Structure 1
Amino acid sequence: MNHPSTLSVEAYFDLICPWCLIGKKHLESAIALLGRERPDVAVQVEWRSYPLIPAMPPAGLPYRDFYVARLGSPQAVAARQAQVCAAAQDAGLTLALDRIETFPNTLLAHRLVRLARQQAGADAAAALIDELFTRYFLRAENIGDPRVLRQAAATCGVAIPDQVPAQPDADAHRDLDWLPSLGGPQEPVLRAGLGVPHFIFDGTRRVSGARPPAALLEAMLHALARAKQRATRATA
């Protein structure tokens, strides 16, 4: 009989990245698959903020203008959005990219995720992340708008303390004390340009990108096998 065990997952994400939303859905599907294959394993997911563009102006930028400047032409933007929407459909999501007006500064949104984690734990943080992803990518709301963030927080039962500013100030990107630490062995990997989403399973197996559930399941099983090998060597 297998003894109960725990698989830890560190999931790095940014709320402006549609691939992170898709990757979150794929991770949830992979965890469900693991539950059927290995019901003795409990999975603990820690969502870690990784703002991709922390120096974005506090009010954000026009969404379409930002992507045209980034990708080079309206045709390139259309092609990229078609690719993302097709991948999202495979994950059961219908994105509203054509209705989004603002590419936001997400620092306050990440701060709210941290507050949710502090107040009620990882499950509350995951619920708030879902809410923010839904508001941005499915409902085309501006998650850099403090009013939208307060509505999202209220929906998820997150109490916003009075000292949280009404809006990010011009120097907010220089004050990241409230963000989860990115220290440790994983930081050089992320800084090397692998980007988000980025998953680390049990501290040993890394997967970058919105990989399908089967690939994530394989990484989980590999991490569990390595953990079992370490435990066997330790007791030998």
Structure 2
Amino acid sequence: MPVKPTTTVQVDVYFDLICPWCWIGKTHLDMARRLLAERQPGVQVQLRWHSVQLIPQTPPQGWPYQAFYEHRLGGPEAVRARRAQVQAAAARAGLTIHHERIAMFPNTWRAHQLLAHAAQQHPEQHEALLDALFEAFFVQGLDIGDSQVLAQLAQAHGVDSTESEALDAPPVWALPDGASGVPLFVFNQRQAVSGAQPPEVLLAAMQLACQTTD
């Protein structure tokens, strides 16, 4: 059916910065958005990002990265198998993840706090800062739980990280009822797509959302 020029698709994205599938999923969403703009230029996509701390009990200083995953997955062989799976999926999305550069498994609370501040005060920089945080962790191996690292990333995007510390708390939400993990994409508060699905799946969900928009 034809799409009205004013059609808006709202996409709620639930994510955490230490989840490689969230970075892959965001990259797929970016591609799906580009495809939708080419095929249905009258549609506007409105994104809402929801912070989810997967491991909120992580201490402020973080944990040693390798030891954390060996304990979580059951040993070095299991870690190697999981990383091979992640790296293959990342490569298909055009990304490269350097696990060998990551020393610390960070507490992401401050990073989410910074993103919440950017969303409120510098919305034009929010998504670029989000991309930069993913790349800082998964490509450069930086500790995104460290205040100095966050300050440098924020400054590069015109955001004052000291102002974010004035927030009482970042808006860290629980997942919607029935959801089991991130990334999670919810289209027009109706249709949910879970996991780092291919761009074609996300595009189809947005197109369906267009058809069901009043």
Shift of 1:181: 6.0
> Matched residues in 2 for 1:146 and 1:93: separation?
26
Deviations 1:75-123 (A, max 9, x none): 00000000000100011111111111100000000000001001122x4
What root-mean-square deviation, in Å, do the aligned CA atoms of Structure 1 and Structure 2 show?
1.8
> Matched residues in 2 for 1:95 and 1:112: separation?
23
Shift of 1:189: 2.9
The aligned counterpart of 2:74 is 72
> Matched residues in 2 for 1:37 and 1:136: separation?
34
Shift of 1:74: 0.4
- Residues 19, 210 of structure 1: 8 Å contact kept: yes
Pair 1:225–1:21, CA change in 2 (3 A)? same
The aligned counterpart of 1:213 is 199
2:178 corresponds to which of 172, 178, 189: 189
> Matched residues in 1 for 2:164 and 2:210: separation?
42
Gaps of 5+ in 1: 166-175, 232-236
> Matched residues in 1 for 2:163 and 2:198: separation?
41
1:32 corresponds to which of 27, 31, 34: 34
1:203 corresponds to which of 167, 175, 189: 189
Gaps of 5+ in 2: none
The aligned counterpart of 1:107 is 109
Give the match's secondary structure for 2:10: strand
Shift of 1:163: 7.6
The aligned counterpart of 1:89 is 91
> Matched residues in 2 for 1:105 and 1:28: separation?
26
Pair 1:221–1:103, CA change in 2 (3 A)? same
| Number of equivalenced pairs | 212
> Matched residues in 1 for 2:109 and 2:191: separation?
28
Shift of 1:55: 1.2
Letter in 2 for 1:85: Q
Letter in 2 for 1:182: W
Give the match's secondary structure for 1:35: helix
Query: Could you state the TM-score of these two structures normalised by the residue count of structure 1?
Result: 0.85
Identity of aligned pairs, percent? Answer: 47
Letter in 1 for 2:13: A
The aligned counterpart of 1:223 is 209
- Residues 36, 203 of structure 2: 8 Å contact kept: yes
Letter in 1 for 2:159: V
Deviations 1:113-149 (A, max 9, x none): 001001122x422111111101000111110111101
Pair 1:181–1:51, CA change in 2 (3 A)? closer
The runs of 4+ residues in structure 1 deviating greater than 4 Å are none
Query: Could you state the TM-score of these two structures normalised by the residue count of structure 2?
Result: 0.93
Of the structure 1 ranges 57-66 and 153-162, higher mean CA displacement relative to structure 2 is found in 153-162
Bigger relative contact order, structure 1 or 2, given CA contacts below 8 A and separation 6+? Answer: 2
Give the match's secondary structure for 2:212: helix
